[in-house]
Chains A and B, each alone.
Chain A
Amino acid sequence: DAKTTQPTSMDCAEGRAANLPCNHSTISGNEYVYWYRQIHSQGPQYIIHGLKNNETNEMASLIITEDRKSSTLILPHATLRDTAVYYCIANAGGTSYGKLTFGQGTILTVHP
């Protein structure tokens, strides 16, 4: 898996967009970018993933640069319940056995 680099922590005001960056400069052509989050004492929650194109679902949007060396997870209207550790992971998915390598992640704190 390609190494990913994320800021250790970020703050966001409730109701504002939270933009979480991730660098993955050594990502391979067959590696997806996955985002998970983990709220204290719970299992990781899948958020979104993408390969080349930008993706959007009911939880978030994923913006991947054209060279695929970085990406940004966007939570459009952050709430207090979005306070969590956010993990960005590069993984080849079904073309390998899909082991996820978690880093330290970004601690996102949403303030009232």
Chain B
Amino acid sequence: DTGVSQDPRHKITKRGQNVTFRCDPISEHNRLYWYRQTLGQGPEFLTYFQNEAQLEKSRLLSDRFSAERPKGSFSTLEIQRTEQGDSAMYLCASSLNPDRSDTQYFGPGTRLTVL
């Protein structure tokens, strides 16, 4: 399977702990996106990378959140001092630019539960 992969699939943590999620995009896809989805809502954009450069961040991405894509391949999303409001599904997507339509392909997501 050469789709987008995410690890872990599920994470349960206590409030105040730090968590890190990993996303491996489709090979050779140069754009990588992070989204967050809460129960009953559609996914919301958090941030995106083109190669290793982080080019856009949503206002949803507070200073407790940091994302990296050090070599333009896999990406990590870290949440420091987790809060119960951080409980959500965190989705990663990748796309190949300059495919003009820039179709994004999503991974299975990491479900975070903060107790």
Interface positions of A (Cβ within 8 A of B)? 32, 34, 36, 41-46, 49, 51, 85, 87, 91, 93-95, 97-105
> Given A42, A95, A97, A101, which contacts B48 in the complex, CB threshold below 8 Å?
A97
Q: What CA separation (Å) do A98 and B4 show in the bound complex?
A: 17
Decide: A46 and B42 in contact? CB cutoff 8 A: no
Decide: A99 and B97 in contact? CB cutoff 8 A: no
Q: Is B25 an interface residue (CB 8 A)?
A: no
Decide: A87 and B101 in contact? CB cutoff 8 A: no
> Given B44, B45, B91, B102, which contacts A44 in the complex, CB threshold below 8 Å?
B91
**Could you list 7 examples of A-B contacts with CB < 8 Å?**
A45-B106, A94-B97, A97-B55, A98-B33, A100-B45, A104-B42, A105-B42
Decide: B42 and A43 in contact? CB cutoff 8 A: no
Interface size on B, residues (CB 8 A): 31
Contacts A87-B42, A98-B95: A32 and B108 contacting too (C-beta < 8 A)? no
Q: Which residue of B lies closest to A104 (CB)?
A: B42
Contacts A43-B109, A98-B48: A93 and B43 contacting too (C-beta < 8 A)? no
Decide: B42 and A42 in contact? CB cutoff 8 A: no
Given contacts A43-B93, A94-B98, A99-B45, 14 further A-B contacts (CB under 8 A): A36-B106, A43-B109, A44-B91, A46-B103, A91-B102, A94-B100, A94-B102, A97-B55, A98-B97, A99-B48, A100-B35, A100-B43, A103-B42, A104-B41
Decide: B109 and A42 in contact? CB cutoff 8 A: yes
Nearest-neighbour CB distance to chain A for B18, whole angstroms, equals 24
Q: Is B28 an interface residue (CB 8 A)?
A: no
Decide: A94 and B45 in contact? CB cutoff 8 A: no
Q: Which residue of B lies closest to A42 (CB)?
A: B108
Nearest-neighbour CB distance to chain B for A84, whole angstroms, equals 13
Q: Which residues, 37 to 56 on B, are CB-close (under 8 Å) to A?
A: 41-45, 48, 50, 55-56
Nearest-neighbour CB distance to chain A for B64, whole angstroms, equals 21
Q: Which residues, 55 to 97 on B, are CB-close (under 8 Å) to A?
A: 55-56, 89, 91, 93, 95, 97
Contacts A99-B33, A101-B45: A94 and B101 contacting too (C-beta < 8 A)? yes
Provide the residues of chain B in CB contact with A91, threshold 8 Å.
102
